Protein backbone atom coordinates (compact mmCIF):
# COMPACT_ATOMS: atom_id res chain seq x y z
CA UNK A 1 0.00 0.00 0.00
CA UNK A 2 2.81 2.42 0.87
CA UNK A 3 4.70 2.78 -2.35
CA UNK A 4 7.62 4.88 -1.23
CA UNK A 5 8.97 8.24 -2.23
CA UNK A 6 7.37 11.63 -1.88
CA UNK A 7 4.43 12.40 -4.14
CA UNK A 8 4.74 16.14 -3.92
CA UNK A 9 4.26 16.71 -7.66
CA UNK A 10 0.82 15.10 -7.78
CA UNK A 11 -0.35 16.87 -4.64
CA UNK A 12 1.05 20.32 -5.34
CA UNK A 13 -1.78 22.75 -4.78
CA UNK A 14 -3.77 20.45 -2.48
CA UNK A 15 -6.20 22.65 -0.59
CA UNK A 16 -6.29 23.02 3.16
CA UNK A 17 -9.83 21.62 3.32
CA UNK A 18 -8.67 18.43 1.59
CA UNK A 19 -5.88 18.04 4.15
CA UNK A 20 -8.34 18.60 6.97
CA UNK A 21 -10.62 16.01 5.41
CA UNK A 22 -7.80 13.48 5.53
CA UNK A 23 -7.37 14.12 9.24
CA UNK A 24 -11.08 14.34 10.10
CA UNK A 25 -11.23 10.61 10.93
CA UNK A 26 -9.84 9.91 14.41
CA UNK A 27 -7.83 6.80 13.47
CA UNK A 28 -6.04 8.64 10.65
CA UNK A 29 -5.41 11.61 12.91
CA UNK A 30 -3.87 9.33 15.56
CA UNK A 31 -1.73 7.56 12.95
CA UNK A 32 -0.53 10.86 11.48
CA UNK A 33 0.27 12.20 14.97
CA UNK A 34 2.30 9.07 15.76
CA UNK A 35 4.38 9.56 12.61
CA UNK A 36 4.89 13.26 13.39
CA UNK A 37 6.05 12.25 16.87
CA UNK A 38 8.62 9.84 15.47
CA UNK A 39 7.04 6.47 14.64
CA UNK A 40 8.94 5.18 11.59
CA UNK A 41 7.15 1.90 10.85
CA UNK A 42 3.58 0.55 10.88
CA UNK A 43 4.49 -1.51 13.95
CA UNK A 44 5.70 1.56 15.82
CA UNK A 45 2.54 3.43 14.81
CA UNK A 46 0.36 0.56 16.07
CA UNK A 47 2.26 0.50 19.35
CA UNK A 48 2.04 4.28 19.79
CA UNK A 49 -1.66 4.50 18.97
CA UNK A 50 -2.97 1.22 20.33
CA UNK A 51 -4.83 0.68 17.05
CA UNK A 52 -5.03 -2.72 15.35
CA UNK A 53 -2.39 -3.31 12.68
CA UNK A 54 -4.91 -3.48 9.87
CA UNK A 55 -6.45 -0.14 10.87
CA UNK A 56 -2.97 1.38 10.92
CA UNK A 57 -2.13 0.03 7.45
CA UNK A 58 -5.40 1.35 5.97
CA UNK A 59 -4.84 4.77 7.58
CA UNK A 60 -1.22 4.91 6.43
CA UNK A 61 -2.27 4.06 2.89
CA UNK A 62 -4.90 6.79 2.80
CA UNK A 63 -2.54 9.37 4.31
CA UNK A 64 0.16 8.44 1.81
CA UNK A 65 -2.35 8.57 -1.02
CA UNK A 66 -3.43 12.00 0.20
CA UNK A 67 0.14 13.28 0.22
CA UNK A 68 0.57 13.59 3.99
CA UNK A 69 3.03 10.72 4.43
CA UNK A 70 5.86 9.23 2.44
CA UNK A 71 8.36 6.44 2.90
CA UNK A 72 11.93 7.69 2.82
CA UNK A 73 15.07 5.86 3.86
CA UNK A 74 12.91 2.86 4.74
CA UNK A 75 10.80 4.75 7.27
CA UNK A 76 7.61 6.74 7.47
CA UNK A 77 7.90 10.49 7.20
CA UNK A 78 5.26 13.19 7.61
CA UNK A 79 5.06 15.42 4.54
CA UNK A 80 5.06 18.74 6.37
CA UNK A 81 5.39 20.54 3.03
CA UNK A 82 1.77 19.61 2.24
CA UNK A 83 0.49 22.02 4.90
CA UNK A 84 2.90 24.77 3.88
CA UNK A 85 1.96 24.33 0.21
CA UNK A 86 -1.77 24.35 0.99
CA UNK A 87 -1.49 27.55 3.04
CA UNK A 88 0.56 29.26 0.34
CA UNK A 89 -1.86 28.17 -2.37
CA UNK A 90 -4.80 29.49 -0.36
CA UNK A 91 -3.08 32.79 0.42
CA UNK A 92 -2.08 33.34 -3.21
CA UNK A 93 -5.54 32.48 -4.46
CA UNK A 94 -7.63 34.57 -2.11
CA UNK A 95 -10.83 32.85 -3.22
CA UNK A 96 -11.86 29.25 -2.81
CA UNK A 97 -10.84 27.04 -5.71
CA UNK A 98 -13.68 25.39 -7.58
CA UNK A 99 -14.44 21.85 -6.49
CA UNK A 100 -15.22 21.03 -10.12
CA UNK A 101 -14.29 22.84 -13.34
CA UNK A 102 -17.93 22.75 -14.47
CA UNK A 103 -19.76 25.67 -12.78
CA UNK A 104 -23.03 23.74 -12.44
CA UNK A 105 -21.35 20.77 -10.78
CA UNK A 106 -19.30 23.13 -8.60
CA UNK A 107 -22.50 24.78 -7.35
CA UNK A 108 -23.97 21.39 -6.42
CA UNK A 109 -20.78 20.35 -4.62
CA UNK A 110 -20.62 23.63 -2.68
CA UNK A 111 -24.28 23.29 -1.72
CA UNK A 112 -23.99 19.78 -0.30
CA UNK A 113 -20.40 19.73 0.99
CA UNK A 114 -18.96 21.59 3.95
CA UNK A 115 -15.28 21.22 4.80
CA UNK A 116 -15.09 18.19 2.52
CA UNK A 117 -17.98 16.40 4.24
CA UNK A 118 -21.43 15.74 2.85
CA UNK A 119 -24.02 17.79 4.76
CA UNK A 120 -26.88 15.79 3.22
CA UNK A 121 -27.38 13.59 0.18
CA UNK A 122 -29.54 15.43 -2.35
CA UNK A 123 -32.95 13.98 -3.16
CA UNK A 124 -32.68 14.94 -6.84
CA UNK A 125 -31.00 12.11 -8.76
CA UNK A 126 -28.77 14.34 -10.92
CA UNK A 127 -27.42 16.24 -7.90
CA UNK A 128 -27.00 13.03 -5.91
CA UNK A 129 -25.01 11.55 -8.81
CA UNK A 130 -22.64 14.56 -8.80
CA UNK A 131 -21.99 14.10 -5.07
CA UNK A 132 -21.45 10.34 -5.47
CA UNK A 133 -19.06 10.85 -8.41
CA UNK A 134 -17.11 13.28 -6.23
CA UNK A 135 -16.83 10.58 -3.55
CA UNK A 136 -16.02 7.83 -6.08
CA UNK A 137 -12.77 9.49 -7.17
CA UNK A 138 -11.41 8.60 -3.72
CA UNK A 139 -11.11 5.02 -4.96
CA UNK A 140 -8.25 4.27 -7.33
CA UNK A 141 -9.34 2.49 -10.51
CA UNK A 142 -8.08 -1.10 -10.59
CA UNK A 143 -7.57 -1.36 -6.82
CA UNK A 144 -9.64 -3.85 -4.81
CA UNK A 145 -10.67 -2.72 -1.35
CA UNK A 146 -11.91 -4.82 1.58
CA UNK A 147 -15.17 -3.56 3.07
CA UNK A 148 -13.42 -2.18 6.13
CA UNK A 149 -11.16 0.01 3.97
CA UNK A 150 -14.16 1.24 1.96
CA UNK A 151 -15.97 2.14 5.18
CA UNK A 152 -12.92 4.01 6.48
CA UNK A 153 -12.65 6.04 3.27
CA UNK A 154 -16.37 6.83 3.23
CA UNK A 155 -16.41 7.96 6.89
CA UNK A 156 -14.35 10.95 5.75
CA UNK A 157 -17.36 12.13 3.75
CA UNK A 158 -20.30 11.14 5.96
CA UNK A 159 -21.03 9.31 9.21
CA UNK A 160 -23.62 7.11 7.46
CA UNK A 161 -20.99 5.32 5.40
CA UNK A 162 -23.24 2.29 4.84
CA UNK A 163 -25.85 4.37 2.98
CA UNK A 164 -23.09 6.07 1.02
CA UNK A 165 -21.58 2.68 0.11
CA UNK A 166 -24.97 1.32 -1.02
CA UNK A 167 -25.61 4.46 -3.08
CA UNK A 168 -22.23 4.13 -4.82
CA UNK A 169 -23.06 0.52 -5.68
CA UNK A 170 -26.60 1.37 -6.83
CA UNK A 171 -25.22 4.09 -9.12
CA UNK A 172 -22.66 1.70 -10.62
CA UNK A 173 -19.70 3.65 -9.25
CA UNK A 174 -18.52 0.76 -7.05
CA UNK A 175 -18.96 -2.97 -7.51
CA UNK A 176 -18.96 -5.55 -4.71
CA UNK A 177 -18.22 -9.26 -4.73
CA UNK A 178 -17.66 -11.37 -1.61
CA UNK A 179 -16.83 -8.40 0.60
CA UNK A 180 -14.37 -6.86 -1.86
CA UNK A 181 -15.09 -3.57 -3.63
CA UNK A 182 -13.63 -1.84 -6.66
CA UNK A 183 -14.38 1.28 -8.62
CA UNK A 184 -16.38 0.74 -11.80
CA UNK A 185 -17.58 4.22 -12.69
CA UNK A 186 -17.19 7.94 -12.34
CA UNK A 187 -14.62 10.34 -13.73
CA UNK A 188 -10.99 9.28 -14.02
CA UNK A 189 -8.02 11.65 -13.78
CA UNK A 190 -5.76 11.45 -16.79
CA UNK A 191 -2.22 12.65 -16.18
Give the residue extent of every domain in the chain.
8-90, 103-183
Q: Measuring CA to CA, how many Å separate 51 from each of 31, 59, 100, 164?
A: 9, 10, 35, 25
Amino acid 191: pLDDT:
55
User: Is the pTM above the cut of 0.75?
Assistant: no
Of 56-60, 89-93, 186-190, minimum mean pLDDT range = 89-93
Residues 40-79 have pLDDT tens digits of: 999 999 999 999 999 999 999 888 888 888 888 879 988 8
Q: Measuring CA to CA, how many Å separate 120 from each of 117, 131, 158, 188?
A: 9, 10, 9, 24
Residue 190's pLDDT band (cuts 50, 70, 90): low
**8 A C-beta contact, residue 138 and residue 145:** no
Residues 24-48 have pLDDT tens digits of: 888 998 999 999 999 999 999 999 9
Highest mean pLDDT among 14-23, 35-44, 181-190: 35-44
Taking the C-alpha atoms of residue 64 and residue 52, their distance in angstroms, rounded to an integer, is 18
- CATH architecture entry for 8-90: Orthogonal Bundle (1.10)
Amino acid 90: pLDDT:
62
**8 A C-beta contact, residue 183 and residue 138:** no
| Partners of residue 132 on adjacent β-strands | none
Which uninterrupted H or E stretch holds 18? helix 16-22
Amino acid 12: pLDDT:
46
Amino acid sequence: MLRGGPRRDRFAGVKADALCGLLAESDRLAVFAAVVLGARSPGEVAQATGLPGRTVVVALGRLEQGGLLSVTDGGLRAADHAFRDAVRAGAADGSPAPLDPDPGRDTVLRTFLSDGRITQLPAAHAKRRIILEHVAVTFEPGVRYPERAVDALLRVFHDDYATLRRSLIDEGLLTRDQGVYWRTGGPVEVE
